Amino acid sequence: QKEVEQDPGPLSVPEGAIVSLNCTYSNSAFQYFMWYRQYSRKGPELLMYTYSSGNKEDGRFTAQVDKSSKYISLFIRDSQPSDSATYLCAMTEGLEAGTALIFGKGTTLSVSS
Amino acid sequence: DGGITQSPKYLFRKEGQNVTLSCEQNLNHDAMYWYRQDPGQGLRLIYYSQIVNDFQKGDIAEGYSVSREKKESFPLTVTSAQKNPTAFYLCASSPDPQGTEQYFGPGTRLTVT
């Protein structure tokens, strides 16, 4: 079983829709969870950063972490064509210096106008 | 502007040649990272450095080398020993040693023929 699983999509939605992106993981020691947005041929951009369980909201974006289910989600409200990108989840134990982030493979989102 | 720069954006080399990818950051981050991204495979860690003159191998270090002579610079050399060097290379930096919050550069796409 891979450490982090993420449905690659593609996911296609109309403008204004609510989008739900998800990742599951197997390592219960993960404590730090991130969502990155990556446009084609660009570097990933950090969108959301959460520690442990709970919700975090930033504008149209909400990140949820359910450690008991080993499941994280990113919700995008009022989706826009500019949200069309690949979304990568990443996580780490954060216990040791230099611990690498473990990435999901990314979900490709397309928002049509 | 603060940020991470990578150059060049596109790089072409013949098989058997070593090539060095540049990564510079002016964020005053101690930790820096090199990842490789292949289609459908997510990001994989090549090398990381937490401090000047120190670096550690990541998951796929074979065929690569790095140096960290200055805090702001972390160049990656792809050697002729790397069996499949064509990929998208991403540099990242983090303000904390655990690397729980990483910021990425725009990437260098290397093509070896």
DSSP class per residue in B15-37: TT--EEEEEEE-S--SEEEEEEE
| Distance (Å) from the alpha carbon of B45 to chain A's nearest alpha carbon | 7
pLDDT of the residue at B69: 97
Assess A106–B contact: CB distance below 8 Å, yes or no. yes
CA distance B84 to chain A (A): 19
What is the arithmetic mean of pLDDT over B11-27?
94
Name the residue in chain A with its Cα closest to that of B100: A94
Q: Is the peptide bond before B106 cis (omega within 30 degrees of 0)?
A: no
pLDDT for B1: 55
Res A7: pLDDT: 87
Residue to substitute from B32, B68, B100, B108, interface A, most A β-carbons within 10 A:
B100
- Rounded to 10 degrees, the C-alpha dihedral B70/B75/B81/B83 comes to 140
Bond prior to B75 in cis (omega within 30° of 0): no
Q: Name the closest residue on chain B to residue A47, using Cα atoms.
A: B103
Overall average pLDDT of the B101-112 stretch: 93
CA B74 to chain A, closest CA, distance in angstroms equals 15
Task: Indicate whether B100 pLDDT > 80.
Answer: no
Percent of chain A whose predicted confidence (pLDDT) is above 90: 76
Which of A42, A94, A103 is closest, CB to CB, to B42? A103
Mean pLDDT of B33-56: 91
Inform me whether the pLDDT recorded for B99 exceeds 70.
Answer: yes
Is A51's pLDDT higher than 90? no
- Show residues of chain B in contact with A36, CB under 8 Å: 104
Q: What is the pLDDT of residue A95?
A: 66
Q: Are strands A107-112 and A11-14 parallel, antiparallel or unpaired?
A: parallel
Which pLDDT score, from 0 to 100, does residue A98 have? 61
Tell me which chain B residue has its CA closest to the CA of residue A93: B100
Which one has a higher pLDDT value, B19 or A98? B19
Closest-CA residue to A37 (of B93, B103, B8, B58): B103
Instruction: Specify whether the CB–CB gap between B107 and B10 falls below 8 A.
Output: no
Question: What own/partner pairs with CB < 8 Å and gap ≥ 24 does A64-72 have?
Answer: A65/A33, A67/A28, A67/A30, A70/A24, A70/A25, A70/A26, A70/A28, A71/A22, A71/A23, A71/A24, A71/A25, A72/A22, A72/A23, A72/A24, A72/A25, A72/A33
